[in-house]
Structure 1
Amino acid sequence: MQVKGNYMVNTTPNVVWDMITNPAVLEKITPGIKTLTVTGPDQYDAISEVKVGPVKGNFEGTLSLKDQVNLESCVLVVDQKSKMGNVVAEISMKLIPDGNDNTEVQYTGDAKMSGMLARMGQRIMSGVVSTLSRQFFQSLNKELEGEPSTE
Protein backbone atom coordinates (compact mmCIF):
# COMPACT_ATOMS: atom_id res chain seq x y z
CA MET A 1 0.00 0.00 0.00
CA GLN A 2 1.32 3.42 -0.96
CA VAL A 3 1.56 6.13 1.67
CA LYS A 4 1.77 9.75 0.56
CA GLY A 5 0.99 13.19 1.90
CA ASN A 6 2.26 16.49 3.15
CA TYR A 7 1.76 18.62 6.23
CA MET A 8 2.70 22.20 7.08
CA VAL A 9 4.38 22.66 10.45
CA ASN A 10 4.65 26.12 11.99
CA THR A 11 8.36 26.04 12.71
CA THR A 12 11.74 25.78 11.01
CA PRO A 13 13.21 22.56 9.58
CA ASN A 14 15.84 22.65 12.38
CA VAL A 15 13.15 22.33 15.06
CA VAL A 16 11.24 19.62 13.17
CA TRP A 17 14.49 17.71 12.65
CA ASP A 18 15.41 17.94 16.33
CA MET A 19 11.97 16.62 17.27
CA ILE A 20 11.89 13.62 14.94
CA THR A 21 15.45 12.59 15.81
CA ASN A 22 14.90 12.87 19.58
CA PRO A 23 13.72 9.46 20.89
CA ALA A 24 11.78 10.97 23.81
CA VAL A 25 9.84 13.27 21.49
CA LEU A 26 9.43 10.61 18.81
CA GLU A 27 7.96 8.27 21.43
CA LYS A 28 5.54 10.97 22.54
CA ILE A 29 4.30 12.06 19.10
CA THR A 30 4.10 8.71 17.28
CA PRO A 31 0.51 7.41 17.52
CA GLY A 32 0.08 4.30 19.61
CA ILE A 33 3.67 4.06 20.83
CA LYS A 34 3.75 2.94 24.45
CA THR A 35 7.51 2.54 24.76
CA LEU A 36 10.46 3.32 22.54
CA THR A 37 13.73 1.84 23.80
CA VAL A 38 17.04 2.83 22.23
CA THR A 39 18.91 -0.25 20.92
CA GLY A 40 21.52 1.57 18.83
CA PRO A 41 22.08 4.81 16.95
CA ASP A 42 18.66 5.79 15.54
CA GLN A 43 17.31 2.30 16.24
CA TYR A 44 14.60 1.45 18.74
CA ASP A 45 12.50 -1.40 20.05
CA ALA A 46 8.90 -0.22 19.87
CA ILE A 47 5.80 -1.44 21.65
CA SER A 48 2.56 0.09 20.47
CA GLU A 49 -1.18 -0.16 20.85
CA VAL A 50 -3.27 0.90 17.89
CA LYS A 51 -7.00 1.59 18.07
CA VAL A 52 -8.26 3.08 14.82
CA GLY A 53 -11.56 1.90 13.39
CA PRO A 54 -11.45 -1.87 12.94
CA VAL A 55 -7.73 -2.03 13.73
CA LYS A 56 -7.22 -2.70 17.42
CA GLY A 57 -4.17 -4.49 18.65
CA ASN A 58 -0.85 -4.55 20.41
CA PHE A 59 2.24 -4.52 18.25
CA GLU A 60 5.90 -5.17 19.02
CA GLY A 61 8.88 -4.62 16.81
CA THR A 62 11.34 -1.99 15.74
CA LEU A 63 11.42 1.59 14.55
CA SER A 64 14.48 3.18 13.00
CA LEU A 65 15.63 6.27 11.14
CA LYS A 66 17.92 5.74 8.17
CA ASP A 67 19.31 7.57 5.14
CA GLN A 68 19.45 10.80 7.13
CA VAL A 69 20.42 14.03 5.42
CA ASN A 70 20.77 16.49 8.31
CA LEU A 71 17.88 18.98 8.47
CA GLU A 72 16.53 17.78 5.09
CA SER A 73 15.29 14.20 4.95
CA CYS A 74 15.22 10.74 6.45
CA VAL A 75 13.48 7.40 6.10
CA LEU A 76 11.35 6.10 8.97
CA VAL A 77 11.31 2.30 9.01
CA VAL A 78 8.64 0.52 11.05
CA ASP A 79 8.54 -3.25 11.47
CA GLN A 80 5.74 -4.30 13.84
CA LYS A 81 4.19 -7.67 14.58
CA SER A 82 0.93 -8.58 16.29
CA LYS A 83 -1.61 -11.38 16.53
CA MET A 84 -3.68 -9.63 13.85
CA GLY A 85 -0.82 -9.36 11.37
CA ASN A 86 2.46 -7.68 10.61
CA VAL A 87 3.32 -4.27 9.18
CA VAL A 88 6.57 -3.27 7.52
CA ALA A 89 6.70 0.32 6.31
CA GLU A 90 9.38 2.60 4.93
CA ILE A 91 8.34 6.24 4.86
CA SER A 92 10.61 8.91 3.33
CA MET A 93 10.21 12.35 4.88
CA LYS A 94 11.48 15.57 3.33
CA LEU A 95 11.59 18.86 5.22
CA ILE A 96 11.04 21.83 2.92
CA PRO A 97 11.34 25.36 4.36
CA ASP A 98 8.83 27.87 3.03
CA GLY A 99 10.95 30.96 3.78
CA ASN A 100 8.59 32.12 6.57
CA ASP A 101 9.84 29.89 9.39
CA ASN A 102 7.40 27.14 8.42
CA THR A 103 8.24 23.68 7.14
CA GLU A 104 6.36 21.53 4.71
CA VAL A 105 6.88 17.86 5.55
CA GLN A 106 6.38 15.68 2.49
CA TYR A 107 6.16 11.96 3.05
CA THR A 108 5.96 9.02 0.68
CA GLY A 109 6.46 5.34 1.14
CA ASP A 110 5.16 1.86 1.09
CA ALA A 111 3.55 -0.28 3.78
CA LYS A 112 3.35 -4.04 3.49
CA MET A 113 0.84 -5.89 5.64
CA SER A 114 0.16 -9.54 6.31
CA GLY A 115 -2.42 -11.57 8.18
CA MET A 116 -5.77 -10.08 9.11
CA LEU A 117 -4.44 -6.57 8.43
CA ALA A 118 -3.88 -7.45 4.77
CA ARG A 119 -7.30 -9.09 4.49
CA MET A 120 -9.06 -5.93 5.74
CA GLY A 121 -8.52 -4.37 2.35
CA GLN A 122 -6.82 -1.37 0.86
CA ARG A 123 -9.68 1.06 1.50
CA ILE A 124 -9.94 0.35 5.22
CA MET A 125 -6.19 0.30 5.81
CA SER A 126 -5.75 3.46 3.75
CA GLY A 127 -8.09 5.24 6.15
CA VAL A 128 -6.19 3.87 9.15
CA VAL A 129 -2.84 5.04 7.74
CA SER A 130 -4.32 8.47 6.96
CA THR A 131 -5.63 8.78 10.52
CA LEU A 132 -2.31 7.73 12.06
CA SER A 133 -0.40 10.19 9.84
CA ARG A 134 -2.72 13.02 10.85
CA GLN A 135 -2.35 12.10 14.54
CA PHE A 136 1.45 12.14 14.20
CA PHE A 137 1.49 15.69 12.85
CA GLN A 138 -1.17 16.92 15.28
CA SER A 139 0.95 15.57 18.15
CA LEU A 140 4.04 17.23 16.67
CA ASN A 141 2.16 20.55 16.57
CA LYS A 142 0.97 20.12 20.18
CA GLU A 143 4.57 19.53 21.21
CA LEU A 144 5.53 22.74 19.39
CA GLU A 145 2.78 24.70 21.12
CA GLY A 146 4.56 24.33 24.41
CA GLU A 147 3.55 21.04 25.94
CA PRO A 148 6.72 19.97 27.70
CA SER A 149 8.52 17.05 26.12
CA THR A 150 9.68 14.07 28.17
CA GLU A 151 13.39 14.52 27.49
Structure 2
Amino acid sequence: MQMTDQKEIAADPATVYAALLDPEVLKACVPGAQEVTGTPEEGFEAKVTQKVGPVKATFKGQVTLSDMMPGEQLKISGEGKGGAAGFAKGGATVTLAPSETGTLLSYDVEAKVGGKLAQLGSRIIDGFAKKMADQFFANLQSHLSPEDAQDDAAEASEAEADGADRKGWFSKVTGRG
Protein backbone atom coordinates (compact mmCIF):
# COMPACT_ATOMS: atom_id res chain seq x y z
CA MET A 1 0.00 0.00 0.00
CA GLN A 2 1.21 3.48 -0.82
CA MET A 3 -0.31 6.74 0.36
CA THR A 4 0.74 10.33 -0.24
CA ASP A 5 -1.00 13.40 1.13
CA GLN A 6 -0.54 16.88 2.54
CA LYS A 7 -2.09 18.46 5.61
CA GLU A 8 -2.16 22.07 6.72
CA ILE A 9 -1.31 22.42 10.43
CA ALA A 10 -1.90 25.74 12.20
CA ALA A 11 1.47 25.84 13.98
CA ASP A 12 5.00 26.70 12.90
CA PRO A 13 7.25 23.88 11.53
CA ALA A 14 9.45 23.77 14.66
CA THR A 15 6.39 23.22 16.88
CA VAL A 16 4.98 20.52 14.58
CA TYR A 17 8.38 18.79 14.39
CA ALA A 18 8.75 18.81 18.20
CA ALA A 19 5.23 17.39 18.58
CA LEU A 20 6.02 14.51 16.21
CA LEU A 21 8.97 13.56 18.46
CA ASP A 22 7.09 13.70 21.78
CA PRO A 23 5.81 10.29 23.00
CA GLU A 24 3.01 11.91 25.05
CA VAL A 25 1.77 13.85 22.01
CA LEU A 26 1.97 10.70 19.88
CA LYS A 27 -0.03 8.74 22.47
CA ALA A 28 -2.68 11.47 22.45
CA CYS A 29 -2.81 11.65 18.65
CA VAL A 30 -2.45 8.07 17.38
CA PRO A 31 -5.96 6.56 17.26
CA GLY A 32 -6.21 3.60 19.63
CA ALA A 33 -2.80 4.18 21.25
CA GLN A 34 -2.62 2.70 24.73
CA GLU A 35 1.03 3.49 25.34
CA VAL A 36 3.93 5.11 23.54
CA THR A 37 7.37 5.11 25.14
CA GLY A 38 10.91 5.85 24.07
CA THR A 39 12.95 8.66 22.59
CA PRO A 40 13.58 9.94 19.07
CA GLU A 41 17.22 8.81 19.31
CA GLU A 42 16.51 5.26 20.49
CA GLY A 43 13.12 4.79 18.85
CA PHE A 44 9.64 4.33 20.22
CA GLU A 45 7.63 1.34 21.34
CA ALA A 46 3.89 1.50 21.03
CA LYS A 47 0.81 -0.53 21.87
CA VAL A 48 -2.23 0.28 19.72
CA THR A 49 -5.64 -1.39 19.58
CA GLN A 50 -7.61 -1.07 16.36
CA LYS A 51 -10.47 -2.70 14.51
CA VAL A 52 -10.01 -3.12 10.77
CA GLY A 53 -13.18 -4.47 9.22
CA PRO A 54 -14.07 -7.58 11.25
CA VAL A 55 -10.53 -7.94 12.67
CA LYS A 56 -9.77 -6.34 16.05
CA ALA A 57 -6.29 -6.62 17.47
CA THR A 58 -3.75 -5.05 19.76
CA PHE A 59 -0.55 -4.32 17.91
CA LYS A 60 2.79 -4.01 19.64
CA GLY A 61 5.47 -2.38 17.59
CA GLN A 62 8.69 -0.46 17.27
CA VAL A 63 9.26 2.78 15.41
CA THR A 64 12.63 4.27 14.50
CA LEU A 65 13.37 7.74 13.17
CA SER A 66 16.13 8.66 10.73
CA ASP A 67 17.24 11.43 8.36
CA MET A 68 16.08 13.91 10.97
CA MET A 69 16.37 17.55 9.92
CA PRO A 70 14.78 19.63 12.73
CA GLY A 71 11.77 21.60 11.54
CA GLU A 72 12.09 20.22 8.01
CA GLN A 73 12.00 16.44 7.57
CA LEU A 74 12.19 13.00 9.13
CA LYS A 75 11.83 9.38 8.07
CA ILE A 76 9.78 6.95 10.10
CA SER A 77 10.21 3.16 9.91
CA GLY A 78 8.30 0.67 11.94
CA GLU A 79 6.57 -2.63 12.32
CA GLY A 80 3.85 -3.98 14.54
CA LYS A 81 2.58 -7.44 15.31
CA GLY A 82 -1.03 -8.16 16.19
CA GLY A 83 -0.89 -11.88 16.94
CA ALA A 84 -3.33 -13.89 14.83
CA ALA A 85 -4.56 -10.67 13.15
CA GLY A 86 -1.24 -10.35 11.39
CA PHE A 87 1.40 -7.69 11.06
CA ALA A 88 2.01 -4.30 9.53
CA LYS A 89 5.34 -2.78 8.58
CA GLY A 90 6.46 0.16 6.57
CA GLY A 91 7.84 3.63 6.53
CA ALA A 92 7.07 7.23 5.80
CA THR A 93 8.92 10.35 4.77
CA VAL A 94 7.49 13.44 6.45
CA THR A 95 8.37 16.90 5.14
CA LEU A 96 7.46 20.19 6.81
CA ALA A 97 7.34 23.54 5.02
CA PRO A 98 6.26 26.97 6.27
CA SER A 99 2.90 28.10 4.89
CA GLU A 100 0.61 31.10 5.26
CA THR A 101 -1.38 29.38 8.01
CA GLY A 102 1.49 27.57 9.74
CA THR A 103 2.97 24.38 8.31
CA LEU A 104 2.32 22.32 5.22
CA LEU A 105 3.04 18.73 6.28
CA SER A 106 3.57 16.29 3.40
CA TYR A 107 3.90 12.56 3.84
CA ASP A 108 4.68 9.62 1.61
CA VAL A 109 3.90 6.22 3.16
CA GLU A 110 4.68 2.72 2.02
CA ALA A 111 3.34 -0.16 4.10
CA LYS A 112 2.73 -3.89 3.93
CA VAL A 113 0.31 -6.01 5.91
CA GLY A 114 0.15 -9.76 6.40
CA GLY A 115 -1.99 -12.38 8.11
CA LYS A 116 -5.75 -11.94 8.47
CA LEU A 117 -5.35 -8.24 7.70
CA ALA A 118 -4.01 -8.99 4.24
CA GLN A 119 -7.04 -11.20 3.55
CA LEU A 120 -9.38 -8.21 3.99
CA GLY A 121 -8.32 -6.77 0.66
CA SER A 122 -6.63 -3.59 -0.40
CA ARG A 123 -9.82 -1.48 -0.55
CA ILE A 124 -10.55 -2.01 3.14
CA ILE A 125 -6.90 -1.61 4.17
CA ASP A 126 -6.39 1.54 2.08
CA GLY A 127 -9.61 3.11 3.39
CA PHE A 128 -8.65 2.28 6.96
CA ALA A 129 -5.15 3.73 6.51
CA LYS A 130 -6.56 6.98 5.09
CA LYS A 131 -9.06 7.24 7.96
CA MET A 132 -6.29 6.66 10.53
CA ALA A 133 -4.05 9.30 8.93
CA ASP A 134 -6.88 11.85 8.82
CA GLN A 135 -7.77 11.16 12.45
CA PHE A 136 -4.12 11.44 13.54
CA PHE A 137 -3.71 14.84 11.88
CA ALA A 138 -7.04 16.11 13.25
CA ASN A 139 -5.88 15.03 16.73
CA LEU A 140 -2.48 16.68 16.18
CA GLN A 141 -4.14 19.93 15.10
CA SER A 142 -6.40 19.81 18.18
CA HIS A 143 -3.40 19.16 20.42
CA LEU A 144 -1.42 22.05 18.93
CA SER A 145 -4.30 24.56 19.01
CA PRO A 146 -6.72 23.57 21.76
CA GLU A 147 -8.71 26.80 21.38
CA ASP A 148 -9.62 25.83 17.80
CA ALA A 149 -10.66 22.39 19.01
CA GLN A 150 -12.85 23.96 21.73
CA ASP A 151 -14.50 26.22 19.13
CA ASP A 152 -15.14 23.18 16.90
CA ALA A 153 -16.54 21.21 19.86
CA ALA A 154 -18.83 24.12 20.79
CA GLU A 155 -20.12 24.33 17.21
CA ALA A 156 -20.69 20.56 17.16
CA SER A 157 -22.60 20.75 20.47
CA GLU A 158 -24.78 23.59 19.13
CA ALA A 159 -25.51 21.64 15.95
CA GLU A 160 -26.34 18.56 18.01
CA ALA A 161 -28.67 20.59 20.24
CA ASP A 162 -30.39 22.02 17.14
CA GLY A 163 -30.80 18.48 15.83
CA ALA A 164 -32.23 17.36 19.17
CA ASP A 165 -34.75 20.22 19.06
CA ARG A 166 -35.82 19.23 15.55
CA LYS A 167 -36.10 15.61 16.57
CA GLY A 168 -38.17 16.57 19.58
CA TRP A 169 -40.46 18.68 17.40
CA PHE A 170 -40.74 15.91 14.81
CA SER A 171 -41.55 13.36 17.51
CA LYS A 172 -44.29 15.59 18.92
CA VAL A 173 -45.90 16.11 15.50
CA THR A 174 -45.72 12.51 14.32
CA GLY A 175 -45.99 10.77 17.65
CA ARG A 176 -42.83 8.83 16.77
CA GLY A 177 -39.87 8.87 19.09
Q: Normalised by the size of structure 2, how large is the TM-score? A: 0.76
Q: Which has the larger radius of gyration?
A: 2
Is the contact between residue 21 and residue 42 of structure 1 (CA under 8 Å) also seen in structure 2? Answer: no
Deviation at 1:69, TM superposition (A): 1.1
Q: Classify the secondary structure of the residue corresponding to 2:136.
A: helix
1:45 is aligned to 2:29: no
Distance 2:103 2:53 in 1: 30
Structure 1 match to 2:140? 140
Structure 2 match to 1:84? 85
Deviations 1:23-42 (A, max 9, x none): 21122111221111217724
User: Which one scores higher on RCO, CA 8 angstroms, separation ≥ 6?
Assistant: 1
Structure 1 match to 2:2? 2
- Tell me the number of residue pairs that the alignment of Structure 1 and Structure 2 aligns: 146
Structure 2 match to 1:126? 126
Structure 1 match to 2:94? 93
Aligned-CA RMSD value: 1.7
Structure 1 match to 2:172? none
5+ residue gaps, structure 1, are: none
Deviation at 1:84, TM superposition (A): 0.5
Distance 1:27 1:42 in 2: 17
Is the contact between residue 61 and residue 79 of structure 1 (CA under 8 Å) also seen in structure 2? Answer: yes
Distance 2:139 2:40 in 1: 25
Deviations 1:25-77 (A, max 9, x none): 12211122111121772411111101354442111111222221111011122
Structure 1 match to 2:73? 73
Between Structure 1 and Structure 2, which shows a larger proportion of strand residues? 1
